Structure 1
Amino acid sequence: MPEQPLLTKDGEPPSVSEQGRGTAPRPTGPRTTRRIARLLPHTGRALGPWVVPLLALVVWQVTAQTGVLSPSVLPAPQAVLRAGTDLAATGDLQRYLLTSLRRIAQGFALGTATGLVLGFAVGMSKPAEVLLDRSLQMVRTIPHLALVPLMIAWFGIGEEPKILLVALGTFFPVYLNTVTGIRGVDPKLLQLGRSYGLGRWALVRDIAVPGALPTILAGIRYSLGVAWITLVVAETISASDGIGYLAQDARQMLRTDQIVLAIVLYALAGLLADFLTKLIERRVLRWHPNYRRPSAP
C-alpha cells in the first residue's frame, strides 16, 4: 500500500519550504546550552568581586534602618550620599578630590622613579649594592610617618612635606621589589645574552627588565596602597583642602556622615588605582601565562 503524503490544514500538500522545515528542525537546544555555559564563567568573574561589597552595603543599610547602629556612630548610606551631593553642589568635593589626586600623582611619581633607578642600580651592580643597600635598609626600618614633625620643621606646612611623605612611603616597596626582581632573573639567560653579544644596556632592556617586570609591578601595586595610607596622615598637617582635610574638619564639626564619606572616597580611590594597575599588568605582561585572559571554552 503506497504511503499517503502529509496534508496541511487546508487539505493541500505542504510546500517545499514547509517540508524542509518539517523534516529538518534546527537544533536550538544544544546550541543555547553551550552559549549559556560559555557566558557563565564570564558573568561569575564580572559579578564575583562585587558580592562582598554589596553584602556589606545591605548589612549597613539594614542595621541603620532598624536602629542597631546609632546615626552618631555610623550614619545610613543615604546620609553619606546626601553629604556627598551637598559638597558636590558647592564644588568643594571636586576640589578636595583633585587636590588629593595631584598630591598622590606627584608623590607617587617621585617615589616610584627613585625606587626604580636605585633598585636597578643595586640589582645590576655589585659596587652600588655595597655602597647603597645597607644605608637604605637602615632608613627603611624608620616609620616614615614618624618623620612628620621633622618634615614640618624642614619644609613648613606647605605642599612639600605632604608630597615627600607620599614619595617616601612609595619608594621602599618599589625599591625592594625591583632589587628582588632583578636578582630573580635566571643567570643562564643573562649568560646566554652575553654569548650572543648583547651589551650591558641590551641585557637590561631585553632580559633583565622583562624577567623582573612581574615583581616590579607587584611592588608598584602595593606602593599605591601605601601612598593613599600616607596621604591620610599627610593631609592632616595644617591642610586647607583634600580628602584628609575633609575628614579632619568633619571631626571637629562632629559630622559623622562626612567622615564616613571621606573613608568611602579613599576606598574608591584605592579601588580605581588598583584597577588601573591591573590593566597595565595585563597590557605589559601579555606574554606571561599568569596574566593572560582565560579563553572561552
Structure 2
Amino acid sequence: MTSTQVRAPQAEAGRTRPPRGSRRPGSTRWRRIITPLLIVALWEGASRAGILPPEKLSAPSDVLAAGWRLAADGTLWRHLLDSLTRAVIGLAIGGGLGLALGSVAGLLRLGDDLVDPPVQMARMLPHLGLVPLLLIWVGIGEPLKISLVALGAFFPIYLNTYSGIRNIDERLVEAARTCGLSAPARLFHVVLPGALPSLFLGLRLAFGAGWLSLVVGEQVNAQSGLGFMMMEAREFAQTDVVVLGLLIYAMLGLLSDLALRTAEGRALAWRRGLKAS
C-alpha cells in the first residue's frame, strides 16, 4: 500500500461533516428577507393598480420619498433624536428599578413578602390607562413620556428577573456553598448565569413595551418626536409621513431586538438549546 493510499483515508476521516439537518447561517439568512420584500412588492403593486388609494395607504415609493425629503431638511433626524432620548432615559429608569426590585424579591424572603405583592397588584393595571392620572401627577411635558416608557419597561424586567432567580436549581447553590464559595461568589458564578436567559427575555419584552409606550406618549401634547411628527402629518392628511413614522418605530424595535439577541448569543454561548430543523 502506497503512502498516498494511506493518507487518503486519514484525510477523509479528518474532514468534519456537518450533522444531517444542519445549515450554514449564511445560507439561510437571505431567506428571512423574502417575506418582507414580497409584502413590499405586493403593497407597491396594489397602490399602483389603484387597489389601495393613496389617501388611505401611501405606496412604499411615496413613503421612501417622504423619508428622503424629511431627512434632507433635518426634520426627521431632530424628531428621531428626541424619541431616542426619551426611550433611553425611560428604559434605563424602568429597567433599573425592575432589575433592583426583582433581585430583592427573588433573593430575599423579606423582599418577596414586602415587594412582590404590591408589584403584582400594580401589574394588573394597564399602564397606558394611567395616562389621565400621570397627567395630574407629572403634567404634560417630558416627564409624562419618560414615565410611560419606564412603566412599560419595568414590569417585564421585574417579572423575568424574579422568575429567573427563583427557577435556579437550589442544589446548584448548595453545591457552591459546599465548595466554599462566599455569598457574593455564589451570586456571581451561580445565580447570575442561571438568571441570564430570563433576564434577556425580559429585556426584549421591555424594549417592545417601551417603544409602544413611546408611541402613545408622544401623541399627548408633544412638540417633537416621531409620534408628534405623525400626529402633525395626520392633521394635514400626509399619509406617507404617518406610514413613515410607523415604519421607523418598527425598524427601531427590530434593531433593538437584534442587538439584544446578538448580546444574548454572546453572553449565553455556553448554553445549548433546541435549534429549528
Q: How does the TM-score come out when normalised to structure 2?
A: 0.89
- Structure 2: which 5+ runs fail to align? 1-16
1:291: how far off?
9.2
Alignment-mate amino acid for residue 146 of structure 1: G
Q: Secondary structure at the match of 1:289?
A: coil
Aligned: 1:122 with 2:105: yes
Aligned to 2:255: 272
Computing the radius of gyration over CA atoms, which structure comes out larger, 1 or 2? Answer: 1
Distance 2:205 2:27 in 1: 26
Residue 246 of structure 1 corresponds to which residue in structure 2?
A: 229
Aligned residue in 1 for 2:70: 87
Cα offset, 1:116, TM superposition: 0.8
Task: Work out the CA distance in 2 between the residues paired with 1:209 and 1:291.
Answer: 22
| Cα contact 1:282–1:291 (8 A) shared by 2 | no
Gaps of 5+ in 1: 1-33, 293-297
Structure 1 distance, partners of 2:218, 2:264, is 30
CA displacement at 1:44 relative to structure 2: 3.6
CA distance in 2, matches of 1:183, 1:105: 28
CA distance in structure 1 between the partners assigned to 2:48 and 2:25 by the alignment: 35
Whether 2:60 is the aligned partner of 1:70: answer no
In 2, the alpha carbon distance for the partners of 1:40 and 1:120 equals 39
Please list, as runs of the form range in 1=range in 2, the aligned pairs for 1:131-280 lying within 5 A after superposition.
131-280=114-263
Q: CA deviation at 1:230?
A: 0.5
Matches of 1:40 and 1:267 in 2, distance apart? 29
CA distance in 2: counterparts of 1:207 and 1:41, whole angstroms:
33
SS in 2 for 1:68: coil
Q: Which amino acid aligns with 1:268?
A: M
1:76-134 CA distances to partner (integer Å, 9 max, x unpaired)? 11111111111111101001111111111110111111111111111111111011111
Q: Is the 8 A contact 1:104 1:166 kept in 2?
A: yes
Give SS of 2:51's match: coil
Q: For the residues of structure 2 that align with 1:263 and 1:144, how far apart are their CA atoms?
A: 21
Partner Cα separation in structure 1 for residue 271 and residue 146 of structure 2: 34
Looking at structure 1, the residues matched to 75 and 31 of structure 2 have their Cα atoms a distance apart, in angstroms, of 34
**Equivalenced residues, count:** 258
C-alpha distance in 1 between matches for 2:64 and 2:170: 55
The alpha-carbon deviation at position 45 of structure 1 amounts to 2.6
Deviation at 1:199, TM superposition (A): 2.3
- Indicate if the aligned counterparts of 1:285 and 1:291 stay in contact, CA closer than 8 A: no
2:5 matched residue in structure 1: none
TM-score (norm 1): 0.83
Distance in structure 2 (CA, Å) of the matches to 1:273 and 1:290: 22
Aligned-pair identity in percent equals 41
Counterparts of 1:44 and 1:111, CA distance in 2: 39
Determine the C-alpha separation between the residues in 1 that align with 2:274 and 2:224. 39
The 3 A distance-change label for structure 1 pair 197 and 42 is closer
1: CA distance between counterparts of 2:252 and 2:199? 22
1-structure distance, mates of 2:229, 2:116: 39
Structure 2 counterpart SS, 1:198: coil
Superposed structure 1 runs of 4+ greater than 6 Å apart: none
| Corresponding residue for residue 28 of structure 1 | none
Instruction: Determine the C-alpha separation between the residues in 1 that align with 2:274 and 2:115.
Output: 33
Q: Which amino acid aligns with 2:226?
A: I
What residue identity is the alignment partner of 1:41? R
| 1:264-297 deviation digits (Å, cap 9, x = unpaired) | 11111111101110111011111112399xxxxx
Q: Kindly indicate whether structure 1 or structure 2 has the higher relative contact order, using CA contacts under 8 Å at least 6 residues apart.
A: 2
1:121-157: CA deviation from partner (whole Å, max 9, x where unpaired) = 1111111101111111001111111111221212222
Tell me the residue number matched to 2:94.
111
Q: CA-atom RMSD, angstroms? A: 2.0
